[in-house]
Structure 1
């Protein structure tokens, strides 16, 4: 990991904690942990890898009426015991914060993520928690910015700004089926997002209205890629009954995505650096990957039959075609809830990751199973039915921009000593890229993924408990002759608190993946760990 990335990650964590008021209630728990892990490949002739892990981490929660901060961060170094594997460093963590600098007017928000993820949708799909996994790399991302909400007379005024940064460590050394073209490897990107709106609720007029405008800019290091998008639109809300309203909006949008070409050798092939990334030709002409402007509009309904249920659905025209978006949140009871999101947008890997982190709640469940893979799938909130799934973000780490469409659903419940949850989703990407005179282009290609992920936890006593998790994913690349990839896994863990500071954990895991017609893998893992909390 680069010094710049590590410094940014630590700075983001420090800023979120330091910004909390001194009088806020704080629960900060640093810890150290030692693990002994065995990974056994159950295929014929498979390797058995053993390694020891030393880890240091912190779990912190800051709670006040106007302050919500939660951080869970962990660094570990894995010491290999044999020549078939090597030492490695792993960073895993999530941070979310919302701090009201001026009560009910100005809020400072932020979030950060460190995790491991697969790189190429065509490649292997091992559990990211495994040591030395093929097609696995380290990812870092954070965002921060202020949000203003205030009233000027009977007009609501809203403005926000957000800065984001995403970094992916280089990883191009993994096996692909014969005939498959290696793709570019994502590096890093910065993005800026700003918006402003003025609105009025129904009352003075028989309908509510809002006028808004926004701008977003992203600069990616790979091939000097640039995203520039801006919009202006007006919306109205027409109450039909106390629980139902019709909504609609119309506006203008302008989006442009461009990049430069790669340096090429004498045969016209793109030149790559030692990390597998294309080397940018600074003298090449900037070419458009995506360019669209014009009228946008949509219409739909908002239904709020009670405090526990809200549904919004819209259909319209955007990005040159029909668009459908919507959301549903429903609290089934005091202890169970469900959330569904249907999305459609033009995204990049960095912007999509930053957007998804921003949508996560400021209070979330920390994974209690060390073999479950960290913060790279569904993240469940402390309140049942809240959270979000990052599976669509991490289906692949693409350098190209794309139109992202899909649906995610989360269900969670608590019954006495038992808690459980389920996440489901489908995602589709359509890629945008220039067509240069020579070389392969992903322009117009589509890929898809489906996933299911669940967890279950049970408190055996005040000092001990068990938890389990399982996942199933299917990846379908749009590249010609690319294999479909299926992955699945299940884990079971037991923990016991020997004292207020000392906790022991034992865990088992079984994971598999299959690259259709190319490679498959079945791996079993066992772990024993001791943690000391300060």
Structure 2
């Protein structure tokens, strides 16, 4: 799902510059983050015969449409389909050193599956896990958690019609400032289960020399099982996102350079709608434009786009009691007053423009940078990707756009490669936040940095790098997310209007074999959340975890893990935990 936000599509933009065709531009809208399936402003695939996806994990960042598949790029079977379900039992110990002196032991039962698709017409990956914790000692109660990540693309008609589905599940905690902590063992404040799914088709065809591309996707996101929340001192109730439905579509017709004129040109249109249940918030965006691509050399092109765009953000107020205070429902969210008219929070329409360059000196390197005017201000975005060999990939993306919490998650998942591999926290089972494939990578950490319900303008950068040297695998992801929230005056969310949240994150890991039956893994993560609320303080969480694995039989795997995790806050006491685990996993091969 794309919320109004420019796709970091420079990587796919130059895929066909060798013959100097208009293979794509970064003038596209996406949701939420620097990563995303694109809702094109222009045709990003003029002459699909010249644009060939690698099939071993072409990410949505290289795709011209919201559903993420590159219409016209054949899916090459470069790996077999593998399905590995498993059952797992673990014995855990959690020693809280601060602010309390507490030791908790518990047993975890888990079931999950890791899947990779590598057929002739299907490619993708999925990792899903359910676990239940039985606490034996300490003050904690039992809990359930589901975590997972999936992105699968299916070719329906050869080189013409594709369909993609994907999703994310995660368990998160909320800080007194409204930020989120992907540390489900912390049993203070509020916790919630995040669910997000999306799906949709992409079509590419020709009418003579005119390339026609279209795409549509729909997504649903929800935070369920929200437990009690204690607001920061002096603050009101936390407005945690509930659920939303997002839809986006795109249509373009274009001609590549040299077919009719020396330069490439096209017309394009796009539509986005996101409906958020909290206070019936709504984001609408329509855009139409004309795009030109002028090749300068065989590896460099100049891109320009001019168009018209209309953006609306509106909402309703909460029900008020006799004293004028907003009413909070049993689910912990404000009760929407449907009897009152909708109030406009943000509205703009008029001409927009973007100019930029696309550079592709080789099949291994792609870069793009764009500057433009949108949302009544200047905007900057771009991308860089480098694949020195099949063992390494570097992806950098910079973004700017308007979206909601739900559409930003769908966008981030669409940005992941279809052959991604994820690492999991051995104590919580949660995904690590970043995923890397053979040709690209991406992270979802930034979009999960805050769970406020308000529509926002988001800017930021994401970096993902993965490499393999010998039998050792290493990965690092980092990023920065900036959000300025949009809310209508005279409503309960008016205080949030113009408020800025910032989130920095860093995660990394290394793993490899010790001998034929043993292996090791070491991961580290950290995140810092800041809000400019007067009564809000900074919050950070971090951790370092090491694991040893031993293959007892072909199907039985033993694991021993030791870690330290911390949560640091300005307004409440810090938390420091030592964790240990012994576990057995049975793999159904």
TM-score, with length taken from structure 2: 0.83
Unaligned runs of 5+ in 2: 1-74
Tell me how far 1:58 sits from its aligned partner: 1.5
Tell me how far 1:104 sits from its aligned partner: 0.7
Partner residue of 1:496 out of 550, 562, 572: 550
Partner residue of 1:8? none
Partner residue of 2:366? 310
Unaligned runs of 5+ in 1: 1-19
Please say if residues 171 and 182 of structure 2, whose CA atoms lie closer than 8 Å, have aligned partners that are also in contact.
no
Please say if residues 472 and 511 of structure 2, whose CA atoms lie closer than 8 Å, have aligned partners that are also in contact.
yes
The Cα offsets for residues 351-377 of structure 1, whole Å up to 9 and x where unpaired, read as: 101111111111111325513752362
Partner residue of 1:510 out of 564, 568, 582: 564
- SS at structure 2 position matched to 1:393: helix
1:36 aligns with 2:91: yes
- SS at structure 2 position matched to 1:519: coil
User: Any runs of at least 4 consecutive aligned residues in structure 1 with deviations exceeding 4 A, and if so which?
Assistant: 123-127, 437-440
Tell me how far 1:408 sits from its aligned partner: 0.7
Q: Would the alpha carbon gap of residues 98 and 127 (structure 1) be closer, same or farther in structure 2, given more than 3 Å must change? A: closer
- SS at structure 2 position matched to 1:180: coil
Alignment of 1:125-524 (within 5 A): 127-130=182-185, 132=187, 134-171=189-226, 173-204=228-259, 205-367=261-423, 369-371=425-427, 374-375=430-431, 377-381=433-437, 383=438, 386-436=440-490, 441-524=495-578
Shifted more, 478-487 versus 85-94: the winner is 478-487
Tell me how far 1:440 sits from its aligned partner: 5.1
Partner residue of 1:3? none
Please say if residues 172 and 185 of structure 1, whose CA atoms lie closer than 8 Å, have aligned partners that are also in contact.
no
Tell me how far 1:202 sits from its aligned partner: 0.6
Tell me how far 1:160 sits from its aligned partner: 0.6
Which structure is higher in RCO with an 8 Å CA cutoff and minimum separation 6?
A: 2
In structure 2, C-alpha distance between the alignment counterparts of 1:494 and 1:175, rounded to whole Å: 38
Tell me how far 1:127 sits from its aligned partner: 4.8
In structure 2, C-alpha distance between the alignment counterparts of 1:121 and 1:338, rounded to whole Å: 35
Give the alignment's Cα RMSD to 1 decimal.
Answer: 1.9
Tell me how far 1:42 sits from its aligned partner: 1.0
- SS at structure 2 position matched to 1:354: helix
- SS at structure 1 position matched to 2:308: strand
The Cα offsets for residues 130-168 of structure 1, whole Å up to 9 and x where unpaired, read as: 263544321000000000012222211110110100010
Please say if residues 268 and 289 of structure 2, whose CA atoms lie closer than 8 Å, have aligned partners that are also in contact.
yes
Tell me how far 1:326 sits from its aligned partner: 0.1
Q: Would the alpha carbon gap of residues 220 and 77 (structure 1) be closer, same or farther in structure 2, given more than 3 Å must change? A: same
Partner residue of 2:139? 84
Shifted more, 119-128 versus 349-358: the winner is 119-128
Shifted more, 365-374 versus 164-173: the winner is 365-374
In structure 2, C-alpha distance between the alignment counterparts of 1:138 and 1:438, rounded to whole Å: 25
TM-score, with length taken from structure 1: 0.92
The Cα offsets for residues 479-505 of structure 1, whole Å up to 9 and x where unpaired, read as: 113101122111111111111111111
Alignment of 1:37-56 (within 5 A): 37-43=92-98, 45-56=100-111
Partner residue of 1:13? none
Tell me how far 1:83 sits from its aligned partner: 5.5
Please say if residues 170 and 276 of structure 1, whose CA atoms lie closer than 8 Å, have aligned partners that are also in contact.
no
Q: Would the alpha carbon gap of residues 237 and 280 (structure 1) be closer, same or farther in structure 2, given more than 3 Å must change? A: same
Q: Would the alpha carbon gap of residues 64 and 424 (structure 1) be closer, same or farther in structure 2, given more than 3 Å must change? A: same
